[in-house]
Amino acid sequence: LDVSDCQILSLPSSFGELTCLKALISERNSLTALPPNFGKLEALQRLHMSRNRLSQLPESFGRLASLRVLELQDNCLASLPASFRQLSCSTCDLSRNRLPPSGLLLTSRVRSAVMFVATCC
């Protein structure tokens, strides 16, 4: 599902019911948060949400067990939920967010990670 450049401000709370969704591309929108039940997207393998205004991720985010590619660069993330450690992505790009080096909670299960501390928003 590609909803890039659609000026989206938020996703509906029912979005987590799309349990068969394998890819979500929502780049260059104005999303500030994801629904609390976002972690129900059990089949999601690719998530591209760069260039939004995400300031936080829901705690359920770590339940995205099928997630392999995560691109969240150019957002406003200042911290990650504790459940983030449960992800086993092959690629994770968190560059150009507000994350301090100590806020990056990646484990060895993430094979390729990119993070640069930068100010945005």
> Which among 25-29, 93-97, 101-105 has the top mean pLDDT?
25-29
Contact 101, 117 (CB under 8 A): yes
- In what side-by-side order are the strands of the sheet with 113-114? 23-25, 46-48, 69-71, 91-93, 113-114
Q: What is the mean pLDDT of residues 51-77?
A: 95
> Is residue 43's pLDDT more than 60?
yes
Within 13 Å, how many C-alpha atoms sit on residue 94's CB side? 24
pLDDT of res. 107: 44
Reply yes or no on whether the pLDDT at 118 is more than 60: no
What value does the mean pLDDT take over residues 3-13? 94
Q: What percent of the chain has pLDDT over 90?
A: 69
State mean pLDDT over 41-51. Answer: 97
For residue 108, pLDDT beyond 50: no
